[in-house]
């Protein structure tokens, strides 16, 4: 009996090798196409803009979680969700502190640093994680402006005991 999808030239299953990624080096091809490589912009190691963007990213994460809590309250039928704004902001900051401490320990960066393509050069010692979280919170509250004054990455780098580097490799 014929099935609706049967016709000459069709096969019963997925194509062979559908679940494996191509390995361009094993096939003797270039790993990255020349058009993609030529469009890559090397990071500017002296710019403070990514550091400021990282602080803004941390603030965006905090505000996003707070707004999500307010929306959840409204959807749950709470009569005045904006009256709970201080609670929602406190919850967002507590969530951000926990997430940041975890990411600094595992990924060597705050959420905002990851979004800006930055990380610490070395692993942050456990005794310094709390200082990194406090400094990152202060920088996000001040929109990263203290980062623009002085040596690049002095605040977060000093708290972590490590320099800050770009995740993007220069071409």
Q: Is residue 16 part of a domain?
A: no
Q: Is residue 102 part of a domain?
A: yes
User: How many structural domains does the chain have?
Assistant: 1
Q: Is residue 98 part of a domain?
A: yes
Look at residue 124 in the predicted model and tell me its pLDDT: 93
Q: Is residue 77 part of a domain?
A: yes
- Say how far apart CA 74 and CA 97 lie, in whole Å: 25
153 vs 15, 48, 97, 133, 157, CA distance in Å? 50, 8, 20, 15, 5
Q: Taking the model in full, what pTM does it have? A: 0.66
Q: Is residue 61 part of a domain?
A: yes
- Grade residue 80 by pLDDT with cuts at 50, 70 and 90: confident
Q: Is residue 145 part of a domain?
A: yes
As a residue count, the chain comes to 171
Domain span at 160: 49-166
pLDDT at 171 over 70: no
């Amino acid at each position: 009996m014929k099935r609706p999808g049967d016709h000459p030239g069709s096969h019963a299953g997925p194509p062979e090798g559908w679940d494996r990624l191509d390995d361009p080096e094993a096939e003797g091809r270039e790993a990255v196409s020349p058009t993609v490589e030529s469009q890559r912009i090397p990071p500017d190691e002296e710019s403070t803009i990514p550091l400021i963007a990282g602080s803004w990213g941390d603030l965006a994460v905090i505000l996003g979680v707070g707004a999500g809590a307010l929306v959840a309250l409204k959807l749950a039928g709470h009569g005045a969700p904006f009256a709970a704004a201080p609670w929602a902001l406190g919850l967002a900051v507590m969530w951000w502190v926990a997430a940041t401490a975890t990411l600094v320990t595992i990924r060597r960066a705050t959420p905002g640093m990851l979004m800006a393509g930055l990380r610490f050069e070395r692993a942050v010692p456990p005794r310094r994680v709390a200082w990194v979280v406090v400094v990152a919170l202060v920088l996000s509250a001040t929109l990263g402006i203290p980062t623009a004054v002085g040596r690049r990455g002095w605040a977060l780098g000093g708290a972590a005991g490590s320099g800050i580097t770009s995740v993007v490799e220069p071409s």
